[in-house]
Amino acid sequence: MSEQRMQDARRDWVNTVSLAHVCRGVAGGFTQADHGARTRLSRLRAGDRIVFYSPRTDYPDGEPLQQFTACGVVTGTEAYQVEVSPQFRPWRRDVAFAPCLPAPIRPLLPHLGFVLDGSNWGFTFRRGLFEVPGEDFDRIVAAMAATSLLPAGDRLATPA
């Protein structure tokens, strides 16, 4: 498959997850969504790009953070279930995380097409795991200095 066809087939995602949970995922090479449900994870495919937005440091009562905190590429072929405890068996997808820096969301908000209401922008992220346009994804990872996730030769200017 040509590089252009691969980019056309690839989808880009945002996953809203507390920083503490993002750190567990980065350490283990995985993501979870919707409190461990499989439903939305099954939409991801190997090669899709994913960025993590952390509204708080921990769930549910951590300190406010409002940053993009990690990014990577989905690997593996499907969601799988793990046993964290007998009462909690979340579904996961493997992710190859890219080196990046945290990026505050507020400077990016006016430049993100998927944020339709600037005054109530937080509602957008309550969806948990959701697809975003590639241009918005590229803008976010450029702000995170995650150049390995940008298309070859693409150097987007980050908003001031």
pLDDT band for 153, please (50, 70, 90 cuts).
low
DSSP, collapsed to helix, strand or coil, labels residue 16 as strand
What number of residues does the chain have?
Answer: 160
pLDDT band for 8, please (50, 70, 90 cuts).
low
| The pLDDT of residue 149 | 93
Q: Which tens digit of pLDDT belongs to each residue from 19-57?
A: 999 999 999 999 999 888 888 999 999 999 999 999 999
All domains of the chain in start order, with CATH: 3-149 (3.10.590.10)
Which residues, listed in sequence order, are joined to residue 85 by a DSSP beta bridge?
Answer: 88
pLDDT band for 66, please (50, 70, 90 cuts).
very high
Most confident of 4-13, 36-45, 103-112, 150-159: 103-112
Assigned token pair, 107 = 């400077």
pLDDT band for 7, please (50, 70, 90 cuts).
low
85 vs 156: CA distance, rounded Å: 43
| The pLDDT of residue 5 | 46
pLDDT band for 71, please (50, 70, 90 cuts).
very high
Q: Which tens digit of pLDDT belongs to each residue from 78-118?
A: 999 999 999 999 999 999 999 999 999 999 999 999 998 88
| The pLDDT of residue 114 | 95
146 vs 135: CA distance, rounded Å: 14
